[in-house]
Chain A
Amino acid sequence: MVNDLGKKLARLAFEERGADFLLVMREEHGNVAPAMVSKGEDVGVVRLEVPYQLVTILENIYPWISKGKIAVITRRCDEKALAELAKRKYVDDKRIIKIGLACTEEQIERCRCEDPVPSHVDVGEPHAGVKGDELSARLAKMSQKDRLAFWVDQYKKCNKCFGCTLTCPVCFCDDDCVLEERTFVAEPSIPPGLSFHMVRSYHMIDKCIECGECERACPAEIPLLTMRKLLAKDMKEVFKFAPGDEKTVSPLNTTLEGELMEDECNER
């Protein structure tokens, strides 16, 4: 049986926007899991209260779907993630149909999300974002020494489960991540030490779209999202750049004059 939400999404995707596939979260035998369907009657009982990053699923299955348009439920952060993936040619945005989902107030709270409303809301009630992150504020007041002490304590809890990288929608080398090796990660292996977290921080600095998946996935409850938010702020200050817009290029990909490194020959 298909619930009303499922019917609505099916109509939006297949009838109104000409999708060939629909990627949703649906309930089966009491579990909610992602599902990819191609017909309205298969949609089933759709559940969107689970704040799961469907784009991460999309990224993983995309290579196996050679053609057809895919409709996917996208929160604001999903949109941004899609933009970052499209930039790197992981997905072809012409093949993606976005079905905008507005986050609930409670979800917005949890993500300390400043920018929660998708460009086009199809499902859910849009709510304004919240300003600032309480922990960031606290850290800002701390002395350098205490700040380091705080993070070292947090990072000591890390047991290197790689949940943060695996659930991250814009962390794309997850099969064989450099952090699993010794090259940049100092002994002892668990906890992995500071370089592990700093290297990941650097890798994320021009990609992270602040979805909060890493933090939710972290069994050690390290406030990973806060670190992302702090660095996102720095990135904005230094280079006026925020990930999530397909048009703006990461400053790491441009020269000082700002034009693309590839110069004119980037019709590749």
Chain B
Amino acid sequence: MPKKVVVIGGGIAGIQASLDLADMGYEVHLVEKTPSIGGRMAQLDKTFPTNDCSMCILSPKMIMCAGHENVTLHTYSEVEEVSGQFPHLKVKIKEKARFVNIDKCTGCGDCIAKCPVKVPDEFEQKLSKRKAIYLPFPQAVPRKVTIDGETCRMIKSGKCGVCKKVCQAGAIEFEQKDKLIEIDASAIVVATGFDLMDASALPQYGYGSCKDVVASLQFERILSASGPMGGHLVRPSDGSTPKKLAFIQCVGSRDEKMHKYCSSVCCMYATKESILAREHVPDIETTIFYMDMRAVGKGFQEFVQRAEKNYGVRYVRSRPAKVQPARGDKGVLVTYETRGLAGEQVSEEFDLLVLCPALLPSKGSKPLAKLLGLELDEDDFLKAKDMRHPVDSTRKGILVCGFASGPMDIPDSVAQASGVAARVAELLQGGG
């Protein structure tokens, strides 16, 4: 009878931890709050510094994870309650009603085509709309649709039910209720990842007030071949192709008033997105406003140099003071200070501005920490037990990996995820 491990969070860290634990022979229950695993990485177009296509390398892992004999996916689910102590933890998981029988659903999408309700698409960072019954993204795992009860007419008002009519598999079950299941777990892995800070918290940067100011993850979707713009780099205000592009780094991070820490990955993804922008629009001119260019990983410095030399990216060390609409509601005017004591204020116009906001521990992680009885560090990331145990939480038998434990890029998250698997094995072997 294999020991059970509950992994919370179905992003790349959670997927990797699950795969390694499953390969080690543990029975893994992977809990993901959205309808599909994949997490943030699924939203990325390419990955730095190799510009590998993100989905190309992630999708096989997702499929492997779902298909693994030792992995049970609980998507669209959340951990409700945890009782007991290591190695006898009782984990209550709420499988939210998706009003679809996923054993019957074939993911054919007929229902989606017919659904009359359109709502902003979270996966596409609200740049486009999805239906009330939806597949979060084409490569979703499991490839099963979900009805979002908040917006579905039938659920809300009992009027509609088109999806049920068109579904030949008979998979639609409006009467479905949330389901509670309990798992006797020996250990728990937390990999809840990150959310972007809402940049409108800093009005001076014009997010929300200027149409042509987007957050970096939105820009990532704009660049993506499978994104809302069909892989065409256009700006929101008028759908025209931007010729002058700017990035502002450290929006709300490395900031005494907001978030003090450095999000670790923004310098690199901004550089990547500038390179990709050039590949979309050969004559685009990109400027990156930054504080320190933190290119500390393998091939990162070379990547930045390549951006500068071969892709005409201009790096300006300055923290812009303010952003306002340029002409009417099109384009933006960025005001920043030039270098040196005698540095004066200059204003420069750009067609499109990308903000790189602080990356925060995901919204869910604080309540989860409370529920699990875990300490947070002063930046609200899950605190590590001590120097010797960087992937142990402050509570025995509960491990942490990926961005939930602090800002880090994909390879560091993956390494930590595997590291967590080792720690679980040590603990369950009776080790300290």
Report A-B touching, CB under 8 Å: no
Measured CB to CB, the residues of B under 8 A from A are none
